[in-house]
Amino acid sequence: MSRTTLDLWVGFFVAVGLGALLFLALKVGNLASSSSGETYAVHAKFDNIGGLKVRGAVKSAGVVVGRVTEIRFDPEAYQGVVTIQLDARYKFPRDTFATINTSGLLGEQYIGFEVGGDTAMLKAGDTIKKTQSAVVLEKLISQFMFNKAAEDGGKK
């Protein structure tokens, strides 16, 4: 095997291998869609964050506008504090409502933004005042049962 043929094959191999890596990174993974642009941090406090995880999505009108980067516990207010990195291109009013939703019935949880009418915008480091915690299934069931019992009681 001559040197040039060898080099050709090795070059081909390395090119194909790197191509596979690139394919995995871009087409299979989320490298292309992950925002490499500027972001600004915003906080939100929840009574119950449910199953929200770091790197969970933050969506507004169904479009991903940011990611959860940190989840802490506030020992004074006994609330969960979520830090969000928002895409710098988007600005949200100060009275934005942050809710924790579930995608699908049993899917992953994400934060949804519902905008209010405030003219002042959220700045970096601000805390979102209006939040709604995650729905806890057990509470829902017990509430349903309680309502059912109350209804039956009332009918009698």
Partner 1 sequence: MVRALRGLGQRVTARIWRLGYASRFFLAILMYSGTSLRRVHLTIREIYFTGVLSLIIILVSGLFVGMVLGLQGYDTLQRYGSTEALGVLVSLSLVRELGPVVAALLFASRAGSAITAEIGMMKATEQLSAMEMMAVDPISRVVAPRFWGGVISMPLLAALFSAMGIFGGYLIGVQLIGVDEGSFWSQMQASVDFRQDIVNGVIKSFVFGIIVSWVAVFEGYDAEPTAEGVSGATTRTVVTSSLAILAADFVLTAFMFTGT
Q: Which residues contact 61 (CB under 8 A, 6 or more apart)?
A: none
Q: Does 36 bind partner 1 (CB under 8 A)?
A: no
Q: Does 53 bind partner 1 (CB under 8 A)?
A: yes
Q: Measure the CA–CA gap between 84 and 81, rounded to whole angstroms.
A: 10
Q: Measure the CA–CA gap between 45 and 81, rounded to whole angstroms.
A: 5
- Give the number of other Cβ atoms within 10 Å of residue 42's Cβ: 23
State the nearest-atom distance from the C-beta of 35 to partner 1, in Å.
Answer: 12
Q: Does 4 bind partner 1 (CB under 8 A)?
A: no
Q: Is 29 or 116 the residue whose CB approaches partner 1 more closely?
A: 29
State the nearest-atom distance from the C-beta of 21 to partner 1, in Å.
Answer: 4
Q: Which amino acid is at 99?
A: T
Residue of 128, 127, 131 lying closest to 46 (CA atoms):
131
Q: Measure the CA–CA gap between 64 and 56, rounded to whole angstroms.
A: 10
Q: Is 16 or 63 the residue whose CB approaches partner 1 more closely?
A: 16
Q: Specify the stretch interacting with partner 1 by CB under 8 A; choose among 9-17, 122-130, 131-139, 143-151.
A: 9-17
Instruction: List residues binding partner 1 (CB under 8 A).
Output: 1, 3, 6-7, 9-10, 12-14, 16-18, 20-21, 23-25, 27-31, 33-34, 53-55
